Amino acid sequence: MQNIISKGKNLKEAINIGLNLMDVSKKEVDIEVIQQEKNGFIGIGRKEAIVKISLNQKSSTSKSDEAKVMNHVTHTSEEIVEILPIDKDGEHSTDVEGLSDERNSSFFQSGDSQLEGKAWVNNNKIYVKDSPFHYPTVQIDKGVKLYKNGMEVQEKSTVISQNDQLDIKLDESSEKETSWQVSLVENGLKAILKVDPGFIVNHRIKDVDPDKHIDLVIEESREVHNSLEYEDVLKKLQDFRVIYGIQHNEIVQAINAVEPGEFVVAKGRSAHPGNHGWLDLKVDVNSMNGLVEDESGNVDFRETKFIPNVEKGQVIGIIYPPKPGIPGVTVTNEPLPAKQTYPLKIASGRGVIEVGDKLVATESGRPFIEQRGHLVKATILEKLIHEGDVNLSSGNIRFIGDVEIIGQVEENMTVDAGGDIFVHKSVSEADLTSSKAMVVKGNVINSELNAGKNNLLIAELGHLLGIMNKQLDKMIVFIQQLSQSPAFKSNDFSITGLQPLIMILLEKRFQNFIPYAKQYQEVVEKGENHLEEKEWVQIAVSLKQIFINLSTQVTTIDQLRNLSQKMKELSELSETPVEPDSYMAVAQAVNSRLYCSGDINVIGKGCLNTKIHSGGQLKVSGMVRGGEIYGKLGVSINEVGSNSGTKTIVSVPSDQKIHITQAFEGTLLRIGNKTHLINDKKNHLKAYLNQENELKLESL
């Protein structure tokens, strides 16, 4: 290369770049300034410095002579300035000297002309080939360190040249050790080995083909190295005293694992659950479930007439004792007890006796079996058929069995049945209560209907007891805590009992307790006739004595504990569902209140301004206009609200859905504690809460 035109920010840079590229010293060249640099004003009008550098003939012919001269003048910068008068900055000749690099220049000579001005990466090394017109640039990615002439490049990208001494440094290859852990889970039924195999991470620079701009990118390769040994696992299992059910093939899989995983390295035998005592019924006990629509939507009122019957002396059912479960074994060879099984508790009522393991009817009538948890109630219900209407001349009807009324129930009359109630005609301004099912074929006007009263009561009382029980437990803990305070004297407990303390506690700390206790009293007093288990009433008496009347009777902490225990049992009992639950079916209802612990079915035209509470599913085949309806297990209605925008409230708990075929404005949907008011007519509506607890409407 005889001459070169070089550009730079200033003359010095232009010359340096030129010399660099030609791989010669200043001594060996003639330099001609083509254009002086101009800085301009804040960058406007800036011009680069341009120089033409040509090899002077003498130096190219006798390079060795020149070298001598060069050595001679090496350290006198002034002379260089003289030789190169354009170099105003006083360039050090040592810099010029350092530019000659045998490796790079030989590569340059042997290089392909296509590579000019390009850089490439091969086997973790970076190569550059210069061109007079272009400098390759390189982008440095995270984790890569590029050293140019011994200095780390701080910028993200830089210009490189063949004459630079380029070194790449990478993050050290890192190693992660295998981690593993043995744990016993499910009460010792299983031993789990968690393995996270170790690995070595190697870094290298990705090879790059020659290009004007290249990226230095790290390539990471992982080499899995699972160092877990069979003996390690066995030893750990020994430490845990695992001796039963060791799974050797799982251990082998674990030590060969390349991915993190869990292995069941020992398995015990789980306990086999037994059966609770149960009753095998030998007779049909369920009456038909009310008025049911057939496929074409018709209702056959005759179908409800089917009522099961038993004769005197007939065996109703056989009681089977509980079957205990088989205990299991843990991996440490300890027995794993099976869940305890309970025998049935039979409460045989009227007309039923227990003979050995059999339940036998002593009277004819409808067998009635109700089961709640382990408690089974069996009675034979008689049936009262009332021919004609219930009015002042017939008097109120109260009967422990089923009641069938052929006529209607008139104003201000009461019908109270221990079994089912079946009314053939209408009910107006009356009060009907049944412990079981209720069917009214006619209209229900201005009346109050309760079906499954017993269950409703128990649900309500159970709820109250649950709340009070929690508070009482806290109170007991609190009294114990207080007794341990250094400045507290508990010797008056023996004289006055806990009364003075309870009085203070009810004042503030447990101030919510009294309202609940009073509410409980009221509910019990109202429904006393329907409560078959007397424990509910006993608790009411205790609550009254201890908390409400604050009698002078001495109360001890043991009494509180007993009370709490009883409350807990009853509260749990109230949560177990009864079987069979009651149901209610009416044709249509106006200005009435319908309560049922089970399903409610309104079959006729629907209901107007009626309050409905169903402990099961609520289904209305007609319309609902005004009032408030609730279905604990969901609501489905054909038509709700009206064109005039009558306010109608439809509610279900948070986990249930509302289905409406046609909804008019003024309908308020309430799901859990979220509400939605319907403003315009909607068809085929489905409302529910989604997982984010938002009320969702789906309209088809």
Partner 1 sequence: MLKYTTVEKNDFLLVSLEGDLDIEGTEVVNEELIPELVHYHSINISLEKVPFVDSSGMGLLISLVNTLKEQNVKITISDVQDDVFEVFELIQLPEILGEEVFI
User: Is there binding between residue 150 and partner 1 (CB under 8 A)?
Assistant: no
CB of 507 vs partner 1, minimal distance in Å: 5
User: Is there binding between residue 356 and partner 1 (CB under 8 A)?
Assistant: no
Binding partner 1 (rule: CB under 8 A), the pick from 490, 512, 551, 576 is 490
User: Is there binding between residue 501 and partner 1 (CB under 8 A)?
Assistant: yes
Helix (H, G, I), strand (E, B) or coil at 342: coil
Q: Can you tell me the distance from the alpha carbon of 43 to that of 37, in angstroms, rounded to the nearest whole number?
A: 12
Q: For residues 142 and 489, which CB has a smaller minimum distance to partner 1 in the complex?
A: 489
CB of 503 vs partner 1, minimal distance in Å: 6
Stretch that binds partner 1, among 180-188, 345-353, 373-381, 507-515 (CB under 8 A): 507-515
Q: Can you tell me the distance from the alpha carbon of 199 to that of 223, in angstroms, rounded to the nearest whole number?
A: 5
Binding partner 1 (rule: CB under 8 A), the pick from 252, 347, 503, 677 is 503
First and final C-alpha spacing in the chain: 83
User: Is there binding between residue 496 and partner 1 (CB under 8 A)?
Assistant: yes
User: Is there binding between residue 552 and partner 1 (CB under 8 A)?
Assistant: no
Binding partner 1 (rule: CB under 8 A), the pick from 491, 552, 643, 644 is 491
Q: Can you tell me the distance from the alpha carbon of 245 to that of 84, in angstroms, rounded to the nearest whole number?
A: 92
In the block, tokens 């479930």 appear at 289
User: Is there binding between residue 339 and partner 1 (CB under 8 A)?
Assistant: no
User: Is there binding between residue 98 and partner 1 (CB under 8 A)?
Assistant: no
Stretch that binds partner 1, among 228-236, 478-486, 567-575, 628-636 (CB under 8 A): 478-486
Q: For residues 238 and 481, which CB has a smaller minimum distance to partner 1 in the complex?
A: 481
Q: For residues 2 and 494, which CB has a smaller minimum distance to partner 1 in the complex?
A: 494
Q: For residues 230 and 488, which CB has a smaller minimum distance to partner 1 in the complex?
A: 488
Q: Which two tokens stand for residue 400?
A: 């422990």
| Contact call for residues 306 and 264 (beta carbons, < 8 A) | no
Stretch that binds partner 1, among 49-57, 383-391, 495-503, 679-687 (CB under 8 A): 495-503
User: Is there binding between residue 480 and partner 1 (CB under 8 A)?
Assistant: no
User: Is there binding between residue 487 and partner 1 (CB under 8 A)?
Assistant: yes
Q: For residues 347 and 482, which CB has a smaller minimum distance to partner 1 in the complex?
A: 482
In eight-state DSSP terms, residue 530 is G
Stretch that binds partner 1, among 41-49, 57-65, 489-497, 659-667 (CB under 8 A): 489-497
User: Is there binding between residue 509 and partner 1 (CB under 8 A)?
Assistant: yes
**250 sits in which H/E element:** helix 248-255
| Contact call for residues 291 and 303 (beta carbons, < 8 A) | yes
User: Buried b / exposed e across 342-361, counting CB within 10 Å, b at 16+?
Assistant: eebebebbbbbeeeeeebbb
Binding partner 1 (rule: CB under 8 A), the pick from 49, 96, 378, 505 is 505
Q: For residues 558 and 692, which CB has a smaller minimum distance to partner 1 in the complex?
A: 558
CB of 653 vs partner 1, minimal distance in Å: 35
User: Is there binding between residue 481 and partner 1 (CB under 8 A)?
Assistant: yes
CB of 496 vs partner 1, minimal distance in Å: 6
Binding partner 1 (rule: CB under 8 A), the pick from 488, 522, 549, 694 is 488
Binding partner 1 (rule: CB under 8 A), the pick from 147, 244, 478, 516 is 478
- 315 to 290, 352, 381: CA distances (angstroms): 27, 10, 15
Binding partner 1 (rule: CB under 8 A), the pick from 489, 534, 558, 680 is 489
- 625 to 442, 585, 606, 645, 666: CA distances (angstroms): 19, 18, 8, 9, 10
CB of 502 vs partner 1, minimal distance in Å: 8
Q: With CA atoms as reference, report the closest residue to 266 among 183, 180, 326.
A: 183
In the sheet with 151-152, reading across from the earlier edge strand, the strands are: 151-152, 144-148, 166-170
User: Is there binding between residue 554 and partner 1 (CB under 8 A)?
Assistant: no
**Pairing mode, strands 190-196 and 261-267:** antiparallel
Q: Which long-range contacts (CB under 8 A, 24 or more apart) does 254-257 make?
A: 254/180, 254/193, 254/195, 254/228, 255/195, 255/226, 255/228, 255/229, 255/230, 256/226, 257/195, 257/197, 257/226, 257/228
Q: For residues 463 and 474, which CB has a smaller minimum distance to partner 1 in the complex?
A: 474
User: Is there binding between residue 492 and partner 1 (CB under 8 A)?
Assistant: yes
Binding partner 1 (rule: CB under 8 A), the pick from 43, 297, 356, 486 is 486
Total Cβ atoms within 10 A of residue 531: 18
User: Is there binding between residue 520 and partner 1 (CB under 8 A)?
Assistant: no
Q: For residues 122 and 481, which CB has a smaller minimum distance to partner 1 in the complex?
A: 481
Total of chain residues touching partner 1, rule CB under 8 A = 23
Q: For residues 186 and 507, which CB has a smaller minimum distance to partner 1 in the complex?
A: 507
User: Buried b / exposed e across 458-491, counting CB within 10 Å, b at 16+?
Assistant: bbbbbbbbbbbbebbbebbeebeeeeeeeeeeee
- 309 to 246, 312, 385, 607: CA distances (angstroms): 59, 10, 15, 34
User: Is there binding between residue 320 and partner 1 (CB under 8 A)?
Assistant: no
| Contact call for residues 331 and 190 (beta carbons, < 8 A) | yes
Stretch that binds partner 1, among 320-328, 370-378, 404-412, 506-514 (CB under 8 A): 506-514
Distance of CA 145 to the CA centre of its chain: 46
Q: Can you tell me the distance from the alpha carbon of 677 to that of 665, in angstroms, rounded to the nearest whole number?
A: 8
User: Is there binding between residue 493 and partner 1 (CB under 8 A)?
Assistant: yes
| Contact call for residues 331 and 266 (beta carbons, < 8 A) | yes
CB of 551 vs partner 1, minimal distance in Å: 16
CB of 474 vs partner 1, minimal distance in Å: 13
Q: With CA atoms as reference, report the closest residue to 593 among 427, 415, 461.
A: 427
User: Is there binding between residue 512 and partner 1 (CB under 8 A)?
Assistant: no
Q: For residues 90 and 500, which CB has a smaller minimum distance to partner 1 in the complex?
A: 500
Q: For residues 142 and 508, which CB has a smaller minimum distance to partner 1 in the complex?
A: 508
Full 3-state SS string of 586-628: EEEEECCEEEECCEEEEEEEEEEEEEEEECCCEEEEEEEEEEE
User: Is there binding between residue 200 and partner 1 (CB under 8 A)?
Assistant: no
User: Is there binding between residue 504 and partner 1 (CB under 8 A)?
Assistant: yes
User: Is there binding between residue 301 and partner 1 (CB under 8 A)?
Assistant: no
| Contact call for residues 38 and 46 (beta carbons, < 8 A) | yes
CB of 500 vs partner 1, minimal distance in Å: 4
Q: For residues 149 and 490, which CB has a smaller minimum distance to partner 1 in the complex?
A: 490
Cis peptide before 580 (omega within 30 of 0): yes
CB of 479 vs partner 1, minimal distance in Å: 9
CB of 525 vs partner 1, minimal distance in Å: 30
CB of 514 vs partner 1, minimal distance in Å: 15
Q: Which two tokens stand for residue 212?
A: 């004007």
Stretch that binds partner 1, among 2-10, 381-389, 447-455, 486-494 (CB under 8 A): 486-494
Q: With CA atoms as reference, report the closest residue to 53 among 132, 131, 159.
A: 132
CB of 663 vs partner 1, minimal distance in Å: 49
**174 sits in which H/E element:** strand 174-176
> What is the binding site for partner 1 (CB under 8 A)?
478, 481-482, 485-493, 495-496, 498, 500-501, 503-505, 507-509
